[in-house]
Structure 1
C-alpha cells in the first residue's frame, strides 16, 4: 500500500485561505479526475468540507505522487503553490490511514466529535466510486473508515466530548447579547447545519426564532419544526434589524449579508433597541457575512475561525482519549489485514501450483497403471493430496503469521523464488471489494 494524503484544514490554514480554496461538489469531483491523470497516481478520492480540502491517492512513488497531487490541488483551487505549501499537511502510508480514521471519527473536526463528516465522506466515496476513481486500495480503506467512524459514535461518548459549533455560538451569544430566553434569533439557511442551529436554539428556549431561506418550502419546514416563523430571503434586510442573534449557514457563493445591509439594520436597531448589541454567528464557508460587518458599532461577528478557537480551548476529556485508542487499534488491525492480504496471492498461487503438480502426476500414474482397482486409486489420490496439504500447511500458516508482524513480505518473496511462481499469476489472484459491500456503506448501512 502506497497511500498518500495531502490537504489543508482549519488546523493548518487561516480561514481566508480556506475560503479561497473551498471547492463545490462538482469542483471536488473534477479535482479527483485531475489527480487520477497524474503519472504516478492509480486511485484518488477528494474530501472537501467547509473546514478542509483533502486528496487521498494510491501512488506508485511518494515524490512523484506528491508532485502530481500538489499540482492538481493548485490548478483546482486557483492558488499558487507558494500560497499553499506552508499550510499543507502530507501523510503517507500508515500515517495517512491514521489521519483518515481520525477524520472519520470527528477527532480532526473544528467541532470535535461532530458526525456530519461521516456523511461527507460517504458522499465523497459515492462520487469516486461512480466515477471509477477508486479501486482495490481506496475502496476497502474508505469503507473501513466509515465503519470506524460509526463505531466511534456508537461505542463512545464522542458526540458529547466537544461542544458543537452551534453550541459555541450560543455560549458566545450569552456573553455578548444576554440570556437566550430574551433573544430574537434569526436563522439564515435551511440546510442540515441551519436546521441543527434552529433545533438547538429551540431546545435552549430562545425568545423567538425566525428562519429565512431562498426556498420558502424549506424555510417553512424548518420553522414549523421549532415553532417559529419563516420569511423569504428577499425579506432578510428587514429581519436583520429585529434579530439579536443571527446564525447563518447557506453554502452560498458570495456574502449573504453584505456590509451595507448590515449597516442599515444596525441603524434601525439603534432606534428600536438602543444599547442592545447584535451578534452574527457565521457558520458558512465561504463566509455568509462580510467580515467588515464586525467593524460596525454595536455589531459582533463570530465566524468559524473564532468559534474554532473557542472549541479548541474546551476540555475534551476521556471520551476523546477513548476514541483515539479506538483509532489506534483499528489502524493496527487494518494494516495487519493489508499485510496478510498482500501475501495471500502468493499462498493461493503456491497451492494452485501444488494442485497442478499432483493432478499431473496422478494422470501420469493412471496412464502407466491402467488396471488399478478404483478403490485403491481413490485411496492413493487422497493420500497424495494429504501429503501435499501437510507439506504446505506449515509455510502457509507461517507466512501469514509473519505478515501480521510486518515481515511477511520478504517471506512471501522467498516462497515465490523457491517455488518459481509466476509474478503475473500471483498478482492476478487478488480480491476486489464486492458491489454489495460498497452499496451498503454508501447508503449508510453496515457491512454485509
Structure 2
C-alpha cells in the first residue's frame, strides 16, 4: 500500500491546474439556499461541480524502506513545481448540507452518529490534502469543517469521502451540498452557533451541539489549532448573540415545534385529552415532555431501553405524569396512543407499514388518524407508514409550518446579531492572519541567535577564560542579547498582523517576503515541505 498510495499522492501533486478542478456558480436563490433570509448579508453560498482530473502516473519506485520512499516522494514534489502551492494558502472550508439544502432522506444517509465523530475526523485528516477536520452532524445538518492544503483537491477528497461513507454518488450529492471558504466558512459556523442558520431561528440546542464537537474532538486529540480556535470562537460568538440580542426569547426548539405541530393537527377541543406516547428519553425527548407539560398535558407514556433516564426526567418535571414502558412494549403502547413522538438514535426505522396498519383505530374524536411525529435523523418511522390510511406521518422537514408563525420578531434580532458576528469574524481572521508570519519570526530569531552565539564564542576565545569572571561573562552575553533584540524589534514589528494597528495583511506579507529574501530564510517552502513530508509518511505508515 505504501508505494501505491505515494504514487497516487505525488501524481495528484503533478496535476496542477487548480482552476480546472472545480467550477463554482451561485445557487438558484442568488446568495445562498435558505428558508430564512438574512438581509444584512450577501452570502456566497456556492455549489461546486467537480470534474475528474486525469492523474499522471509519475512512477514512485517501490520502497522497501518507508523513509527512503518518503524522501523520494518529497523530492518529486519539489521537482514538479511546488511554486504552485506557495501561492495558495491553506483554506478553512465547510462542505455539507442542511435542512435548507437537502431533504431528510438525504440528510439521514450522511448523518454521522456522535460515537463515530472521532473516527470520521481521523479518516478526513488522513486524506492527502486535509490538515485538520471536524464533523458537525445533527438532525438538521451534516457539515464537515476542514483546513485544506489545497482548496480544489481538498474539497474533491472530502466529497469522495462523503460519497463513500453514505453510498450516495458524487453526482447526486452535488445538487444538495454547499461549500464555503475562509471568511464565508467562518461566518457560517458563527451563524450556526448563534442559531441564525437553524430551522428554528434562535434555537439554543445547536450551541450545545457545537460545544459537543469540541468536547469529543479534544478527548480524541482530533482538532488542529485552526479548527479548535474556529469552534471555540464560534461558541463564544453564539453566547454573545444570545446574551446581547435576546434572540432566543420566545423561540421554539425542534421539540417544541413538534408538540405545536401535533396539537395543531388535532381537533382543538380534544387536543389536550389525546393519549401521548414518546419513544426515546434523550435530550430531544425530554424537551418534548417539557413542552407537553407546558401546554397542559397531564400524562405521557415514555418507551425507553432503560428506566434511569425516565426517572431523572420525573424528578425534574413534576407537573406531568410520566409512565415508563420498556422497549419490548413499544407496539402495544403505540396501540393505546393517539399521538406518537419518536426521538431515538436508532439507525433503522422502529415503525414500518406492517406495524402501523395492525394497530387498532383511534377515536373519531381525533379524526380517526393516529399521528406519528418523528424528529429523529435517521428517521425512526419509515416513510411507508404514510401509506397507511389511518395514520398521518410528520418529520422534521414538516416543522416549517410551525416555525413560520413566530419568526418575524427574531428576524429583527438576527440583524443585530450580524453586527456581533462581523466583529467576532474580524477578530478570528486577524488571529489567523497573524499565524502567517510566525514561522518567519521564528526563523529570523533563530538566524540572529546563531550569529550572536558564534560571535560571542569568538569574543570569549580572544579574551580568554582566565580574564572573564562570571559577572563579566554575563554582562557580555546580556550586551549581545540586547543588541540583537533592539535590531530585531523594528523588523518584527512590521510582521505584526493581529488587528492591533492599521497595517494590512498584504503589507505585512510583503514585509515577510522581503525578510525571507534578505536573510535567505525560505520559510514558506520549508513549511510546505514539512507538511507534504508529514502527509507522505502518514500514508505510508
> Could you say what secondary structure the match of 1:44 adopts?
strand
Is 2:148 the partner of 1:59? Answer: yes
| Cα distance change of structure 1 residues 171 and 366 upon mapping to structure 2, 3 Å threshold | same
- Which region of structure 1 is more displaced relative to structure 2, 116-125 or 204-213? 116-125
Q: Paired residue for 2:395, among 298, 303, 328?
A: 303
> Could you say what secondary structure the match of 2:145 adopts?
strand
Is 2:190 the partner of 1:94? Answer: no
Is 2:369 the partner of 1:282? Answer: no
Deviation track 1:406-442 (CA, whole Å, cap 9, x = no partner) reads: 22223212112222335389859x9xxxxxxxxxxxx
Give the Å deviation of 1:287. Answer: 1.7
Q: Paired residue for 2:428, among 334, 337, 343?
A: 334
What is the aligned partner in structure 2 of residue 351 from structure 1?
445
> Could you say what secondary structure the match of 1:206 adopts?
coil
What is the aligned partner in structure 2 of residue 198 from structure 1?
289
Contact preservation (8 Å) 2:433, 2:497: no
Deviation track 1:37-72 (CA, whole Å, cap 9, x = no partner) reads: 322122222222222222222222111111111111
What is the aligned partner in structure 2 of residue 116 from structure 1?
205
Distance 2:366 2:106 in 1: 37
Q: Paired residue for 1:216, among 289, 307, 310?
A: 307
Contact preservation (8 Å) 2:357, 2:390: no
What is the aligned partner in structure 2 of residue 411 from structure 1?
511
| Cα distance change of structure 1 residues 378 and 125 upon mapping to structure 2, 3 Å threshold | closer
> Could you say what secondary structure the match of 2:345 adopts?
coil
Contact preservation (8 Å) 2:497, 2:505: no
- Which region of structure 1 is more displaced relative to structure 2, 403-412 or 75-84? 403-412
> Could you say what secondary structure the match of 2:325 adopts?
strand
Distance 1:88 1:107 in 2: 19
> What is the TM-score when the length of structure 2 is the normalising length?
0.70
> Could you say what secondary structure the match of 2:144 adopts?
strand
Distance 1:309 1:353 in 2: 65
Give the Å deviation of 1:400. Answer: 0.6
> Could you say what secondary structure the match of 2:174 adopts?
helix
What is the aligned partner in structure 2 of residue 230 from structure 1?
324
| Cα distance change of structure 1 residues 344 and 27 upon mapping to structure 2, 3 Å threshold | closer
Distance 1:25 1:376 in 2: 63
> Could you say what secondary structure the match of 1:134 adopts?
coil
Q: Paired residue for 1:189, among 267, 280, 304?
A: 280
- Which region of structure 1 is more displaced relative to structure 2, 387-396 or 300-309? 387-396
What is the aligned partner in structure 2 of residue 444 from structure 1?
none
Deviation track 1:370-394 (CA, whole Å, cap 9, x = no partner) reads: 6699988877765665454343323
Q: Unpaired runs of 5+ in structure 1?
A: 431-448
Contact preservation (8 Å) 2:362, 2:369: no
Is 2:493 the partner of 1:397? Answer: yes
Q: Unpaired runs of 5+ in structure 2?
A: 1-89, 531-541
Give the Å deviation of 1:217. Answer: 3.5
| Cα distance change of structure 1 residues 410 and 397 upon mapping to structure 2, 3 Å threshold | same
What is the aligned partner in structure 2 of residue 324 from structure 1?
418
Contact preservation (8 Å) 1:157, 1:319: yes
Is 2:131 the partner of 1:42? Answer: yes
- Which region of structure 1 is more displaced relative to structure 2, 5-14 or 122-131? 122-131
| Cα distance change of structure 1 residues 94 and 185 upon mapping to structure 2, 3 Å threshold | same
Give the Å deviation of 1:292. Answer: 3.9
Is 2:245 the partner of 1:146? Answer: no
Contact preservation (8 Å) 1:189, 1:250: yes
Q: How many residues align?
A: 427
Deviation track 1:319-374 (CA, whole Å, cap 9, x = no partner) reads: 32333322222221111011112213322332343344344434434444566999
> Could you say what secondary structure the match of 1:42 adopts?
strand
Give the Å deviation of 1:312. Answer: 4.9
**1:149-168 maps to which residues of 2 (within 5 A)?**
149-160=238-249, 162-168=251-257
| Cα distance change of structure 1 residues 309 and 64 upon mapping to structure 2, 3 Å threshold | farther
| Cα distance change of structure 1 residues 64 and 123 upon mapping to structure 2, 3 Å threshold | same
> Could you say what secondary structure the match of 2:310 adopts?
helix
| Cα distance change of structure 1 residues 372 and 289 upon mapping to structure 2, 3 Å threshold | closer
What is the aligned partner in structure 2 of residue 364 from structure 1?
458
| Cα distance change of structure 1 residues 369 and 286 upon mapping to structure 2, 3 Å threshold | closer
What is the aligned partner in structure 1 of residue 97 from structure 2?
8
Is 2:194 the partner of 1:105? Answer: yes
| More helix, by proportion | 1
CA RMSD of aligned residues (A): 3.3
> Could you say what secondary structure the match of 1:321 adopts?
helix
> Could you say what secondary structure the match of 1:86 adopts?
coil
Contact preservation (8 Å) 1:210, 1:223: no
> Could you say what secondary structure the match of 2:175 adopts?
helix
